[in-house]
Chain A
Amino acid sequence: MTQSKERLRRADPDRTQPYRSMMHAFGKGEAGGPPGGHPLGIGGAVSAGQSYADRAVQEASDLVDRHIRTGAAKTEQIDNSFQGMSWLSTLAQSQDLAGLMTQATKAYSEITTMWVELAATIRDHLANTRAPAQTDGAQNAAPAGETPVLRLRASCMVEARVDMLRPGTPERATQLAPEEADQTGSNLAARLEDGHLVVTVPAGQTPGRYNGLLLDGSGGPVGVIMAEVFADDGSAA
């Protein structure tokens, strides 16, 4: 047996856990990947998550729309049918029954629309993630895995916070774009500066909610920046 001259050590791995967060699927993939893409052909593939979500929302909406329309028609019919059931009056007022059924329809509508809204939330997150606003060029990364300290520069009332999506080192921040597509306000500037996240809200900024992303070195989102700009009288948009 040949004697080795030196004991060999493994290189420290970049990580020891899989990426479980959906957000990673929409980044640019890991830094350091071998050139030429995946040997099996998946290198550089971009998830079509948004189209999935879009279809999901559409299908969910179709389903619920159908039910709600059914429920509305149903309520009218039930009102009529129960009016004619005299025996029921011994149990309750007919109008109470009609009211109950109306509430039933309402309750159902609320339940079903709730998860459609959740699906829509998915879509919004995906949209925000897949089309980040232009970055502001801040280069001073925050410590890995830690939420950067937030600094607000604003002349109006603003509430802001950062939610980290996964462990990672934020290296740059996107501008904060208005949450609603029809919101008229311009984007808010955000940058990382000595480990601090600085969000600047100019005077006269349109009240409303603004969202941006913290990105790691590979362009993958590691956190979400959320800011709500209030009107001068303190009211929300």
Chain B
Amino acid sequence: MDKARPKKVAIFGGGCAGVSAAFELTRPERNGEFEVTLYQMGWRLGGKGASGRDAATGRIEEHGLHLWMGFYENAFRFMRDCYAELDRPAGHPLRTWDEAFVPDNYVGVTEKLGDSQWANWAAFFPPSAGLPGDPLSGQNPFSVSGYLAHCMRLLHTLMLSVQDRGHEPPNIKDTGVTQAASQLVTSLLSCATKDTLGTARRAVKYGQLAVGTLILEAINTLQTLLGALRPGQNAAATQSLLDPLAITIRRFLENMVITDPETRRIWEVIDVVLAIVRGVLREGVLFSPRGFDLLDKYDWREWLLSHGAAQATIDSAFIRGSYDLLFAFEEGDVNLPSLAAGQAIRGAMRMFFTYRGALFWKMQAGMGDVVFAPAYEVLKRRGVKFEFFHRLEKLGLSADKSHVETATVTVQAEVKEGADYDPLVPVKGLPCWPALPQYDQLKYGTQLGKKRWNPEEPDDDRSVSIKTLKVTEDFDFAMLAVGYGAVPGISEELIAAEPAWQRMVDSVQTVATQAFQVWLDENVDDLGWQHPPINISGYVEPFDTWADMRQLIEKEDWPTDPKAIAYFCSVLPDTQCGEGADAAVRDGAINFLNRDVAHFWPDAVTNEGFRWELLSGAEGTGEARFESQFWTANTSPTERYVLSLPGTLDQRISPLDNRFDNFTVAGDWTGCGHMAGCVEAAVMSGLLAASALSGTPHLSHIIGYDHP
């Protein structure tokens, strides 16, 4: 072989996974070892993270809500390297990575108090040391024992926070057993007080909650052991004493907790953490070579229940929010929550215990503008070739099934006079992706523009030509980096040839999502929102999550700036997918604004419903004004979100898998170590795919890959 010849890599799909893989393979240190061509359906990079700018207002239109978490070490490293290499000039609207991402320390969940009452819980997570993507030095933060220690510290902190609220035991007026129980608890608390003489007041009160718990635990244990403890005794009589005793004490504790919602919420978190600690120890996760994977056969909520969490905790906003965050509902049905327990714990541990800087980071423009435009510019500068309007249809195997021999691609449109497509447009000086193709660069562009042709539509069948890319001619290595929903159709030959692929497509599932965005002429504080700008989950369907995106106002280009921008998103039931999906999302959004948004913005709603005159840039009256806003039904195969269902994660194909010897995969649907649909998983998979083709980055350099 001619060693000087670059190795040609065809990457199919320009989402986070494909782009980060291209970034790794073309690092300057590799001295041109790889010649990368990235094939992308439609006019823009981004996949599920793509965004576009409206031509008239410069407003940002996203596929959904994208927040970066403070533990996205690999993704932030990618971005930091990208911005550093881009070296934008002074005065650029987003010159550096830390101008593009801003810490967000508030997170919220909404909880249901009754049939129709909801309350907001906004929590502040203090900034932590360092920044995501900083070098990790000194110690490996990822171990089960380390996490258990974190859990214990968290328990300690939470208990102290409860005590800080100055709770005293309720004064229960009753007689008989209730009085006895009351005295019992009071005496225990007295003991706790004596026991901690000389310690701070906080420590005294810390004892209250803990002692109450121990009584319950002891009595519950006793109830199961009664017969064995005192053989021959009239167990029924003793039981009749213990039951009311236990009930009374539970009521006592419940009173203490329920009298203050904040205490109850903290108690729910304590309960979750206790269940995790118990479960991790009982199930042998600590010494298992499979780490938290050991628990992936269980559903997260069922697993917590089995290790002692209370049903109220399972139903709490804190736990429901974790399902909302990952769209963890089979078939998009909110009555079918399902989330692998091991990955849920791994994600929670990473999210809460290893974040740096802030729990969340908010992008200061669209995800396309912040992530994919800079990546495109750097890759283009490095010589990566982009083939926009190229949709992968099928991968073909060699006769001996050992490698990928062909890739069949539909060319959706051609650029005029054979020029390269120039995909970006400036908005207030920031390179951005437009919300629709730049028709004027395309052959037959005028006609396409009149039709507002959208090559991302699932039913788009425009085909200028069919290309068959061939191994050794067009590529040496192929990388499948499309969204999982398209994988089964593209990979039929691979699935037929390899049982592991068959098992993957038999088990891995996706779900459609929906989102809408509104721009308002009043700010949400004036509409009654009483917390800081927030991202809040756990609310009523069909839109359980709201993010206040006011930071984007200055990056858009309205004739008159709106005063608020709000994003809402949720899962979309499979029953609503299909031809009517778009209308279903629109109708759902209108109903939500009329009926449910008053919980967040009470002054945006009157007895007649939502005040439609609040919508910016709208025409007409009433609900018709909503037509001017943005909504999306993400139902096409590549847009669907991959689920982390129990019993399925070990069926995912790893980018490192070498069953087909010139081929690898990338995407948040792969066995990439962090098996959840998110930017970090996608970037990790891109790094793994690059490593599979080139040997670098070394696996130990992919942060969090070797993680329990």
The segment from A4-12, A134-142, A146-154 found at the interface with B is A4-12
Asked if B399 CB lies within 8 Å of chain A CBs, one says: no
> What is the minimal beta-carbon distance from A23 to any residue of chain B, in angstroms?
7
Q: Is A40 a contact of B222 with CB atoms below 8 Å? A: no
Q: Is the CB of A49 within 8 A of B146?
A: yes
CA of A32 to CA of B231, assembled, Å:
64
Q: How many residues of A contact B (CB 8 A)?
A: 83
User: Do A30 and B137 touch across chains, with their CB atoms under 8 A apart?
Assistant: no
Given known A20-B293, A74-B191, A103-B222, contact A45–B140 (CB-CB < 8 A):
yes
Shortest beta-carbon distance from B231 to chain A in Å? 13
- Digit string of A103-118 for contact with B (CB within 8 Å is 1, else 0)? 1110110011001001
**Partner pick for A92 among B146, B238, B656, B658, CB 8 A cutoff:** B238
A47 and B143 form a contact (CB under 8 A): yes
A161 at the interface (CB under 8 A from B): no
Q: Which residues of B contact A230 (CB under 8 A)?
A: none
A16, A69, A97, most chain B CB atoms within 10 A: A16
Q: Which of A42, A49, A78, A167 contacts B184 (CB 8 A)?
A: A78
**Contact across chains for B152 and A111 when beta carbons are under 8 A apart:** no
Q: Which single member of B195, B219, B474, B692 contacts A13 (CB below 8 Å)? A: B692
In the complex the two chains form, what is the Cα distance from A87 to B465 in whole Å? 93
Q: Does A67 contact B (CB under 8 A)?
A: yes
CB distance from A214 to the nearest CB of B (A): 13
Q: How far is the CB of B385 from chain A (nearest CB, A)?
A: 12
Check A40 against B238 for contact (C-beta < 8 Å): no
Q: How far is the CB of B172 from chain A (nearest CB, A)?
A: 16
* Chain B residue at smallest Cβ distance from A19: B706
Given the complex of chains A and B, what is the CA–CA distance between A203 and B656 in angstroms? 51
Given A45-B140, A52-B146, A70-B191, A8:B2 Cβ within 8 A: no
Q: A232 contacts the other chain (Cβ, under 8 Å)? A: no
* Chain A residue, CB-CB nearest to B474: A1
Are A166 and B211 in contact, with the CB atoms below 8 A?
no
- Report whether A111 and B149 are in contact in the complex, using a CB–CB cutoff of 8 Å: no
A209 to chain B, nearest CB (A): 17
Report if B215 contacts A (CB, 8 A).
Answer: yes
Contact residues of A between 51 and 93, Cβ < 8 Å to B = 52-53, 55-56, 59-60, 63, 66-67, 69-71, 73-74, 77-78, 81-82, 85, 87-88, 91-92
Please give, as numbers and ranges, the residues of chain A lying within 8 Å of B662 by CB-CB distance. Answer: 7-10
CB of A25 closer than 8 Å to a CB of B: yes
- Quick check: is B657 within 8 A (CB to CB) of the other chain? yes
B142 touches A88 (CB 8 A): no
Q: Judge if B217 is at the interface, Cβ distance under 8 Å.
A: yes
Give A33 to B696 CA distance when docked, in angstroms. Answer: 10
A48 touches B139 (CB 8 A): yes
For B700, give its contact among A23, A33, A108 (CB under 8 Å). A33
Which of the candidate stretches A119-127, A172-180, A184-192 sits at the interface with the other chain? A119-127
Question: Is the Cβ of B210 less than 8 Å from the Cβ of A119?
Answer: no
Which one of B192, B194, B222, B700 has the greatest number of beta carbons of chain A within 10 Å? B700
Residues of A within 8 A of B233 (CB): 96
B673 touches A115 (CB 8 A): no
Bound together, the chains give a CA A166 to CA B294 distance in angstroms of 13
0/1 interface trace, chain B 277-296, chain A, CB 8 Å (1 if under): 11001000011111111000
**Per-position binary interface string of chain B over residues 447-472, scored 1 when its CB falls under 8 Å from any chain A CB and 0 otherwise:** 00000000000000000000000011
A118 and B8 alpha carbons, distance in the complex (Å): 53
Q: By the criterion CB–CB under 8 Å, are A20 and B288 in contact?
A: yes
Cα A15 to Cα B699 in complex, Å, equals 9
Q: Are A107 and B148 in contact (CB under 8 A)?
A: no
- Chain A residue contacts of B671, Cβ below 8 A: 16-17
Residue of B nearest to A118 (CB): B281
- Could you tell me the distance between the alpha carbons of A47 and B138 in the complex, rounded to whole angstroms? 8
Decide if A10 touches B701 in the complex (CB within 8 Å): no
Whether the pair B191, A25 counts as a contact (CB closer than 8 A) is no
> Does B90 lie at the interface of the complex (its beta carbon under 8 Å from any beta carbon of A)?
no
Q: Are A24 and B706 in contact (CB under 8 A)?
A: yes
The yes or no answer to B5 lying at the interface (CB within 8 A) is yes
CB neighbours of B630 from chain A (8 A): none
Q: What's the least CB distance linking B696 to chain A, in Å?
A: 7
- Cα distance A52–B700 in the bound complex, in angstroms: 22
Nearest residue in A to B7 (C-beta to C-beta)?
A: A8
Verify if B55 is at the interface (C-beta below 8 Å from A). Answer: no
CB distance from B156 to the nearest CB of A (A): 7
Among B8, B135, B139, B693, the residue within 8 A (CB) of A10 is B693
Asked if A59 and B156 sit within 8 Å, CB to CB, the answer is yes
Please encode chain B, from 185 to 217, with 1 for each CB lying within 8 Å of some chain A CB and 0 for all others: 001101110111000000000010011001101
Given contacts A38-B700, A56-B149, A74-B191, contact A105 B218 (CB under 8 A): yes
Contacts of A29 in B (CB 8 A): 700
CB pair B211–A67 under 8 Å, yes or no, is: yes
Tell me if B403 counts as interface (CB < 8 A to partner A): yes
A3 within 8 A of partner (CB): yes
A104 touching B287, Cβ below 8 Å: no
Please give me the residue from chain B that is nearest to A222 by CB atom.
B289
CB pair B1–A8 under 8 Å, yes or no, is yes
A15 to B138, alpha carbons, bound, how many Å? 26
Query: Chain B's nearest CB lies how many Å from the CB of A38?
Result: 5
**Can you offer 6 A-B residue contacts whose CB atoms are under 8 A?**
A7-B403, A52-B143, A77-B190, A92-B241, A103-B225, A107-B221
Query: 8 new A-B pairs (CB below 8 Å) besides A40-B703, A59-B153?
Result: A17-B656, A23-B287, A46-B139, A49-B143, A63-B210, A100-B238, A103-B229, A107-B221
**Which residue numbers of A lie inside 8 Å of B, CB to CB?**
1, 3-25, 29-30, 32-34, 38-43, 45-49, 52-53, 55-56, 59-60, 63, 66-67, 69-71, 73-74, 77-78, 81-82, 85, 87-88, 91-92, 96-97, 99-100, 103-105, 107-108, 111-112, 115, 118-119, 122, 125-126, 165-167
